[in-house]
Structure 1
Amino acid sequence: MSLTADQTYVRFVCFEMVERQRNRLGVFQAMDLAEQSEVAEEWALKELAALDRWFTTHLARPDFFVSGGDRYRNRRARADNQTGLSWFKPGATEHIQRMHRLKAALEACGMHVEIVTTRDPGRIIWQDDHQIVAEPGHRRF
């Protein structure tokens, strides 16, 4: 796949505090923590459940997914321990709109979500119609 300068990829990132350190957490992992939150609002929990069902049906997951956030391993590159980050493609408008809803629901449960964009996600190691997984190389997201 060749990238053009007008392609901006979108990533949603959560953070959690662990022993006073801010650690990245995938938004889908954060959904599990939100259910346990003491400040979670009922509407937000219902919205999270509905969005979880939608994304389970409408968002592919590479078969080489590695637990622990949004890290993936390329099968052919496992010996090199290469990992990647998932990004939504610019044309995945419905997915991105639903991610904004997911962001609002997570934040109503006390979880902060940041939106990160880039035109240079790194070397693409997997993709489908809606998303890519790219090795960031020296870039920090």
Structure 2
Amino acid sequence: MSQQIPESHMVLFEKPIVAALATIMPDGQPQVNPVWCDYDGEFVRVNSAKGRAKDRNMRARPQVTVLLVDPENPFFWIEVRGKVEEITEEGADAHIDLLAKKYLGADSYPFRTPTETRVMYKIRPTRVQAVDMS
């Protein structure tokens, strides 16, 4: 069952807040990486290069958690548990450029390497914990 991001916490996806993405390694250990993300009204979307550990993890074990904490108020945060429903290269370059605009103010992603293939992951929220203790 899908859950929506509450309106009260949409601002966390609108600000350039670096999220923590937790994936599951082959041995069952969690791996947590800082990532850029956005929310399109249905999916939390993250982007990476094909072949990285988080890419391999999400392909093999699609259960993930995304955590965003407001850097100005650590008592205002959201945890989104979900399942990666789509992994696609289509639109991934445009998506990373969109995230570069949000996070860096740059028109295109400046850290792209000539050999990398960008991948976009669409995460359907299945459990959302939105906290505001301020």
Query: Please, what TM-score do these two structures have when normalized by structure 1?
Result: 0.26
Query: Which is strand-richer, 1 or 2?
Result: 2
Question: Which protein has the larger Cα radius of gyration, Structure 1 or Structure 2?
Answer: 1
Query: Which is helix-richer, 1 or 2?
Result: 1
**Structure ranking higher on relative contact order (CA contacts 8 Å, 6+ apart):** 1
Query: Please, what TM-score do these two structures have when normalized by structure 2?
Result: 0.27
